[in-house]
């Protein structure tokens, strides 16, 4: 790589990590998403010129915020916006002058609230469409570019750009306030934030097709954002629980795909390739969450993942405890999918036929009838019970509902192993 | 900032031919009176009216200088506009909080739409 290329990559990476802070603060100060983003873009261009010559600043985040703020002042002056905005910035600058000019903690917080929290709650406001919440979070806090987000979600760039424009316009025109919501609505608003982060993680974690690299970045991004929220809201157990859940799943990433890009089931994974550090961190976070004494669905799911990760061999898995946890999850956050997973755990703990009977009681559920994993779970149990013909039928039902190439390959192989004709 | 709070419900869209039950009517009126009082206390109330059902609506369109008058609302919908409030609120969150407190929210849909504040000429 050329020197210029390496420099570009470094600036890229640092901006990705640090620009969220600058954007969050500038939105508060300027009251304008677009202006804040444009100012940070200006700072990026400046960094590309200055850093290779002057070296990377000791505190890149502070440099970005200061430079972006100055760029915003320039833009405002050029656009002849209201004087009051410049005065506000001038006031901030005066304040910094008296506090020693340190752009860092003082700037990204007001009233002891980190601006990034304000930003993520605004991005995840229920008045915005769910896909807009995801896109806006990734763009503003994550610092991902529009093409990167579009690629990861397999959406045309134009569509995603429009989505972002509409969302920002709505925030402005309907006057969605830029703040951490008050206590009376905080629980459901925090739920929305966690839901968006989990969605981003799953999008990156899933085996669906598309740009594999973009997807790996997505789950990494989800973890990074969840870390920020967990750091800023350390007394919210579900925030810690979600981060733990992500880490405990992400730890298995390397072992989930075979050399040919094929899917490797949990029971077949090479556990030596699991990331021990992530497992240890996830377990510690889960412990901290549980100590806060307010159980919730993310904590329960994290506990299940921790039990899987604690087993050094598939045979060592504590399925009984996992089944009990799924029962707990079914009580606090019931859903057909939870019942499905519970049935599978029961099958492993008490016997395949017991689990299969449970699965069959769910047969009438319309959601599950269209869910490929329901059929593949039934197929798997039938296979283990030696009921091959029925297993093939169930695998075919799963195949009919699966579009993902990797998973189709897996199902096709299973059918062939049982002596069925390979599908096209 | 001002918002229009639009109250939609099925009853307005499809009013039953029977006269309203007086007890139910009194109860609903009571709830709306309380709501209006709440809005006034909060300094949010600017205007508010109940509308008669869509069976009383007439739609008029003028195209190429020709006026076309039809019986009924502009579109047949499952829920129809039954009333409105014009409120002043600090931001969308406050407007949504006030919208949720509207009695119509319990059995219909409340649309909260910001007023386009045009610069005075």
Domain boundaries, chain A: 1-107
pLDDT digits over A37-52, tens only? 999 999 999 999 998 8
pLDDT at A94: 60
Instruction: Choose among A348, A349, A381: nearest CA to A362.
Output: A381
CA-CA distance, A105 to A423, in Å (whole number)? 60
Residue A71 scores a pLDDT above 50: yes
* A141, containing H or E segment: none
| Domain count for chain B | 1
User: For residue A274, how far is the Cα from the chain centroid?
Assistant: 20
Q: Decide if B29 is inside a domain.
A: yes
Residues of chain B contacting residue A185, judged by C-beta atoms under 8 Å apart: 93
Tell me what pLDDT residue B111 has: 98
Cβ distance A176 to B1 less than 8 Å, yes or no, reads no
Structural domain containing residue B72: 2-13+22-114
Whether the CB-CB separation of A152 and A222 falls below 8 Å is answered with no
Q: Searching chain A, which residue's CA lies closest to the CA of residue B117?
A: A173
The domain that holds B54 is classified in CATH as 3.30.70.1060
pTM: 0.84
Q: How confident is the model at residue A135 (pLDDT cuts 50, 70, 90)?
A: very high
Q: What pLDDT digit, counting tens, does each position of A230-250 carry?
A: 998 999 999 999 999 999 999
- Specify the pLDDT at position A326: 97
Q: What is the mean pLDDT of residues A254-281?
A: 89
Six-digit token pair at A242? Answer: 């979600």
Task: Give dist(CA B31, CA A150) in Å, integer.
Answer: 48
Residue B120 is assigned to a structural domain of this protein: no
Q: Looking at residues A24-34, what average pLDDT do you find?
A: 92
* pLDDT above 60 (res A124): yes
Q: What is the pLDDT of residue A101?
A: 40
Q: What is the nearest CA distance from B10 to chain A, expressed in angstroms? A: 23
Report pLDDT for A424: 59
Distance from CA of B94 to the nearest CA of A (A): 9
pLDDT at A319: 97
Distances (CA, A) of A236 to A186, A190, A216, B16: 11, 9, 27, 50
pLDDT at A106: 39
Identify the helix (H) or strand (E) that includes residue A311: none
In-domain check, residue B69: yes
pLDDT average, residue stretch A208-234: 81
Take residue A157 and report the two structure tokens written for it.
């760039």
Please answer yes or no on whether B92 and A177 come within 8 Å at the CB atom.
yes
Is residue A416 helix, strand or coil?
Answer: helix
Minimal-distance CA residue of chain B relative to A181: B93
Average pLDDT over residues A53-74: 90
Neighbours of A335 (CB within 10 A): 12
- A94 or A312, which is more confident? A312
pLDDT in tens, chain B (121 residues): 999 999 999 888 888 888 889 999 899 999 999 999 999 999 999 999 999 989 999 999 999 999 999 999 988 899 999 999 999 999 999 999 999 999 999 989 999 999 998 876 5
- Is there a domain that residue B88 lies in? yes
A176 contact residues in B (CB cutoff 8 A): 91-93
Report the alpha-carbon distance of residue A118 to residue A171 in Å, rounded: 13
How far is residue A220's CA from residue A217's CA, in Å, rounded to a whole number?
A: 5
Phi-psi region of A112 (alpha: psi -120 to 50; beta: other; left: phi over 0): left
Which of the pair, A4 or A342, is modelled with greater confidence? A342
pLDDT value, residue A105: 40
Is residue A14 within 8 A of residue A109, CB to CB? The reply is no
Q: Name the interface residues of B facing A (CB cutoff 8 Å).
A: 1, 90-93, 96, 114
pLDDT of residue A103: 38
Q: Say whether pLDDT at A90 is over 80.
A: no
């Amino acid at each position: 790589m050329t020197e210029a290329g390496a420099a570009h990559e470094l600036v890229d990476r640092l901006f990705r990590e640090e620009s969220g802070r600058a954007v969050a603060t500038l939105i508060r100060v300027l009251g304008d998403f677009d202006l804040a983003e444009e100012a940070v873009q200006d700072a990026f261009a400046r960094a590309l010129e200055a850093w290779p010559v002057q070296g990377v600043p000791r505190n890149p985040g502070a440099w970005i915020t200061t430079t972006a703020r100055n760029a915003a002042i320039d833009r405002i002056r050029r656009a002849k916006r209201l004087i009051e905005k410049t005065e506000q910035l001038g006031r901030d600058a005066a304040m910094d002058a008296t506090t020693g000019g340190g752009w860092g903690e003082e700037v990204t917080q007001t009233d002891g609230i980190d601006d990034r929290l304000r930003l993520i709650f605004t991005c995840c406001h229920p008045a915005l469409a769910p896909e807009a919440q995801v896109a806006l979070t990734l763009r503003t806090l994550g610092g991902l570019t529009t093409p990167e987000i579009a690629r990861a979600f397999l959406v045309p760039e134009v569509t995603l750009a429009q989505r972002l424009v509409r969302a920002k316009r709505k925030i402005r025109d309907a006057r969605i306030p830029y703040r951490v919501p008050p206590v009376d609505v905080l629980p459901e608003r925090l739920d929305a934030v966690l839901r968006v982060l989990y969605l981003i993680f799953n999008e990156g974690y899933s085996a669906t097709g598309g740009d594999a690299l973009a997807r790996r970045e997505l789950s990494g991004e989800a973890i990074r954002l969840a870390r920020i929220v967990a750091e800023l809201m350390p007394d919210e157990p579900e925030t810690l629980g979600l981060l733990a859940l992500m880490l405990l799943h992400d730890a298995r990433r390397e072992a989930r795909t075979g050399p040919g890009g094929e899917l490797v089931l949990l029971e077949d994974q090479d556990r030596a390739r699991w990331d021990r550090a992530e497992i240890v961190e996830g377990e510690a976070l889960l412990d901290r969450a549980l100590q806060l004494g307010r159980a919730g669905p993310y904590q329960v799911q994290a506990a299940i993942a921790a039990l899987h990760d604690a087993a050094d061999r598939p045979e060592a898995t504590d399925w009984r405890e996992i089944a009990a946890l799924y029962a707990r999850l079914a009580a606090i956050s019931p859903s057909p999918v939870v019942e499905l997973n519970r049935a599978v755990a029961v099958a492993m703990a008490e016997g395949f036929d017991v689990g299969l009977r449970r699965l069959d009681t769910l047969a009438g559920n319309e959601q599950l009838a269209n869910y490929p994993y329901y059929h593949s779970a039934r197929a798997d149990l039938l296979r283990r019970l030696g009921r091959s013909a029925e297993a093939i039928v169930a695998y075919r039902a799963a195949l009919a509902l699966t579009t993902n190439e990797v998973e189709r390959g897996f199902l096709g192989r299973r059918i062939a192993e049982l002596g069925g004709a390979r599908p096209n | 900032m001002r918002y229009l709070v639009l109250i939609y419900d099925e009853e307005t869209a499809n009013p039953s031919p029977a006269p309203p039950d007086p007890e139910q009517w009194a109860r609903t009126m009571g709830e709306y009176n309380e709501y209006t009082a709440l809005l006034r206390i909060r300094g949010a109330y600017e205007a508010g009216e109940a509308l008669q059902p869509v069976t009383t609506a007439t739609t008029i369109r003028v195209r190429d200088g020709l006026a076309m008058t039809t019986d009924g609302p502009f579109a047949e919908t499952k829920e129809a506009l039954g009333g409105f409030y014009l409120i002043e609120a600090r931001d969308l969150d406050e407007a949504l909080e006030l919208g949720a407190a509207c009695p119509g929210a319990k059995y219909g849909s409340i649309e909260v739409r910001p007023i386009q504040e045009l610069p005075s000429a």
